[in-house]
Amino acid sequence: NAGVTQTPKFRILKIGQSMTLQCAQDMNHNYMYWYRQDPGMGLKLIYYSVGAGITDKGEVPNGYNVSRSTTEDFPLRLELAAPSQTSVYFCASSYEGSGYTFGSGTRLTVV
Amino acid sequence: DQQVKQNSPSLSVQEGRISILNCDYTNSMFDYFLWYKKYPAEGPTFLISISSIKDKNEDGRFTVFLNKSAKHLSLHIVPSQPGDSAVYFCAATRNQGGKLIFGQGTELSVKP
């Protein structure tokens, strides 16, 4: 039972490039989330989804997009990478909002 | 607007002693509070939680206290062990199933 799997673990992007951070869970959780963690700032919610086909903005959605075509997958898209998006990104899932399970994170550097 | 605040970025404690991590919140609508533990290069893992109808919840060496009037909660670890060295995040939500709002984290170091 893999839980929440995030790929890649590390990535360096140039300013203006785009990329997709992948997140998959195998626990049949209906809720999924993307957080970013910046030093001294804790985890900030970027986007979340309460089920396939439903997504909503969190605290810091600007510069990101998400989609939820299946229960298992919740990719996060960066269209025009900026240095301010340098961060560690965590995907999480839960059943009805209870019992969050986090992935191990993607460390992204934009140069 | 930081709705959940952990004002101590770091804490150092001797093995065997008590560790006390503090957390304050501003939103009186929060009714469920959680503590997560995070090791380097790993995602946060759930540690303990408390509902606003309680003022204390205990699980082994870990106890969380909630003071609703002060909008303050604390995590006590007794006795502290070197393996407890990690970053601890406080989180809050409404209706238990709502989105989690996290504090900034406190890095605990337990020295042998």
pLDDT digits (tens, 9 = 90+) for B24-83: 999 999 999 999 999 998 999 999 999 999 999 999 999 999 999 999 999 999 999 999
Cα separation, A12 vs A39, whole angstroms: 18
| Nearest-CA distance B40 → chain A (Å) | 9
Residue B15 is given by DSSP the state T
Residues A66-77 have a mean pLDDT of 97
Task: Please check the confidence at residue B1 and state whether its pLDDT lies above 80.
Answer: no
Cα separation, A66 vs A45, whole angstroms: 13
The structure tokens 């939680």 sit at: B49
pLDDT digits (tens, 9 = 90+) for A93-111: 998 877 899 999 999 999 9
Percent of chain A with pLDDT strictly greater than 90: 88
Cα separation, A30 vs A18, whole angstroms: 27
Q: Is any Cβ of chain A less than 8 angstroms from the Cβ of B39?
A: no
Task: Please check the confidence at residue A1 and state whether its pLDDT lies above 70.
Answer: no
pLDDT digits (tens, 9 = 90+) for A48-59: 999 999 999 999
What's the pLDDT score for residue A105? 96
Q: Say whether B105 and A42 touch across the interface (CB within 8 A).
A: yes
Chain B environment of A58 (Cβ under 8 Å): 99
Question: In which band, very low, low, confident or very high, does the pLDDT at A26 lie, cut at 50, 70 and 90?
Answer: very high
Q: Which amino acid is residue A11, in one-letter code?
A: R
Cα separation, B71 vs B23, whole angstroms: 9
CA distances from B5 to A63, B19, B58, B90 (A): 26, 18, 22, 8
| Nearest-CA distance B55 → chain A (Å) | 20
Which residues pair with residue A12 across a beta bridge? A109
Cα separation, B49 vs B61, whole angstroms: 14
CA distances from B76 to B20, B24, B56, B97 (A): 5, 15, 11, 25
Question: In which band, very low, low, confident or very high, does the pLDDT at A2 lie, cut at 50, 70 and 90?
Answer: confident
pLDDT digits (tens, 9 = 90+) for B5-38: 999 999 999 999 999 999 999 999 999 999 999 9
What's the pLDDT score for residue B4? 95
Q: Which amino acid is residue A63, in one-letter code?
A: G
Residues A16-28 have a mean pLDDT of 97
Tell me the two tokens of residue B67: 């003071």
Residues A25-40 have a mean pLDDT of 93
| DSSP states of A17-63 | --EEEEEEE-S--SEEEEEEEETTTEEEEEEEEEETTEEEE-S--TT
